[in-house]
Amino acid sequence: MGEVEKVFISGLREKLIEDKVITEQDLVPEFASEIIRYGGKDVMTCLQCGNCTGVCPISLKIEYKTRTTIKYCQFGMKSHTLSTRWVCATCYRCYEHCPADLNPAELMIALRHIAVREGIVPPFVKTAASNLLRYGLTVKPDEAMLKEREQLGLPQAAITKPGWERVKKDINTIIETTKYDRLLGITNKEEGE
């Protein structure tokens, strides 16, 4: 059986995997307990009401909606779930509307913790983390950006402030001590440095 495509009235399409054959080998029965160990609540308390998906600001942009992700967690579909939650904005709107007090936002964070430990980190996350190490910002600042900040009256970016080298050293000490760089597979060095 192939993938099923659900088409929304907006024209966006959601690929579903319900139609795929899931074998016992695909399931990890202890996945729900693992999520709790990494800071999530018990996914088995989810009522599948869909409120979380309804209020999620990114739900139309993501392949697997929040409610669907939680259903896969309930089933123990670990490998189907881990790579899907990196665009969650952690806005906590889902938490505010969840009748089961499940806190899907923190579930998404728990899924990221587990994914990192399994070596599943999307390239855009690695880029943002490397930029944080190098520039104190998740985006690489350039001349145009620095000028725009100045024109808008925003505070100076950290790298242009006196004392940045000391701050950078402190950031690197934290990164090395926590092994954050090795965990994510990132470096504080520019290519060619």
Site residues (vs ligand SF4, CB under 6 A): 46-52, 55-58, 66-67, 70, 88-94, 97-100, 102, 104-105, 108
- Measured from the CB atom, the residue of 89 and 154 that comes closer to ligand SF4 is 89
Please tell me what DSSP assigns to residue 64.
S
Give min distance, CB of 186 to ligand SF4, in A.
23
Q: How many Å apart are CA 96 and CA 102, to the nearest integer?
A: 10
Residue closer to ligand SF4, measured from CB, 78 or 112:
112
Q: What is the four-CA torsion angle of 52, 102, 3, 5, rounded to 10 degrees?
A: -10
Measure the CA–CA gap between 136 and 123, rounded to whole angstroms: 18
For the bound state, the minimum distance from the C-beta of residue 21 to ligand SF4, rounded and expressed in Å, comes to: 25
Q: For the purposes of burial, counting CB atoms within 10 Å of the CB of 108, is it exposed (0-12), middle (13-18) or buried (19 or more)?
A: buried
* Residues in Cβ contact with 60 at an 8 Å cutoff, skipping those fewer than 6 apart: 8, 10, 12
Minimum gap (Å) between residue 132 Cβ and ligand SF4? 21
Residue 76 or 104 having the CB closest to ligand SF4? 104
Closer CB to ligand SF4, residue 62 or residue 171? 62
Question: CB of 104: closest distance to ligand SF4 in angstroms?
Answer: 5
